[in-house]
A = this chain, B = another copy of it.
């Protein structure tokens, strides 16, 4: 049985270290949800995020999708390649700027969306059910304050 040693070196206690705790929690939560749609729809987390913003904002360009998801443009490009390939996203070209794509969910894309979105929300509810109303309030306030404003 190992013993705690060298207190003079002030070792980091991971289980009380906020960044570590956030990372463990976040991964468990997101991965739990992603596993489900991955299995059922062969959809990666990045692909789902792209679909989610296209569900809200039709006609975005790839760059705009990247902005909204905070993903980098390469990740978006790859996710889109698969989504277009699988027929879940339609890609057109912008009138008057042939560089820009014009993206939107296809009928099949909407069908997937309409199954995944409620599932994701249900999982979020399960998570929040561990908290009472007051705690939920504080959590949202705290996240607002911790959230970095914008990363370019």
Interface residues of A (CB under 8 A from B): 2-6, 9-14, 17-30, 33, 49, 52-53, 55-60, 64, 68-70, 110, 113-114, 117-118, 120-121, 123-124, 127-128, 130-131, 135, 138-139, 141-143, 145-148, 151
Contacts and interface: CB of A to CB of B under 8 A. Distances in A.
Oligomer: number of copies = 2
B130 A145 contact: yes
Nearest to A29: B19
A17 B120 contact: yes
Contact of A5 (B13, B29, B58, B145): B58
A112 to B, nearest CB: 11
Nearest to A114: B9
Contacts of A2: 57-60, 64
Given A2-B58, A26-B26, A131-B142, A18 B124 contact: yes
Given A5-B58, A21-B143, A25-B148, 16 more contacts: A6-B110, A11-B117, A12-B121, A18-B29, A18-B127, A18-B128, A19-B26, A19-B29, A19-B123, A20-B30, A23-B29, A24-B70, A25-B147, A135-B141, A135-B142, A142-B142
